[in-house]
Amino acid sequence: AQKVTQAQTEISVVEKEDVTLDCVYETRDTTYYLFWYKQPPSGELVFLIRRNSFDEQNEISGRYSWNFQKSTSSFNFTITASQVVDSAVYFCALVYDRGSTLGRLYFGRGTQLTVWP
């Protein structure tokens, strides 16, 4: 079974602080992909980052960075120098790859991030 857990329900920070969003996943599959999506109040889910299960190299993209550790089944996401516009609900998600079919996304319950000016 696939499961994604985001233990942090809400996080509040002041602008320019760094913030890390935690994600822990469960899967028996060896090939899978992990994602972070952002959902502003408008409701649209915006794709942010993707990592496949064979690539544990951590990367930085602008103010975003992520830490993928298979040993602890974690895929944490960090925003550096947060801004008010970063306020949104952030979802971690997983999709497994079985043969030629890529299917459903399994989402966590989301973390509400509020950045105060």
Partner 1 sequence: DAGVTQSPTHLIKTRGQQVTLRCSPKSGHDTVSWYQQALGQGPQFIFQYYEEEERQRGNFPDRFSGHQFPNYSSELNVNALLLGDSALYLCASSLQYQETQYFGPGTRLLVL
CB-based burial label for 79 (10 Å; 0-12, 13-18, 19+)? buried
Q: For binding to partner 1 (CB under 8 A), which residues are involved? A: 4, 33, 35, 37, 42-47, 50, 52, 91, 93, 95, 97, 100-110
Closer of 13 and 95 to partner 1 (Cβ): 95
**Residue 113 to residues 33, 43, 54, 100, 107: CA-CA distances in angstroms?**
23, 15, 29, 36, 17
Shortest spacing between CB 110 and partner 1, in angstroms: 5
Closer of 54 and 117 to partner 1 (Cβ): 54
Shortest spacing between CB 107 and partner 1, in angstroms: 3
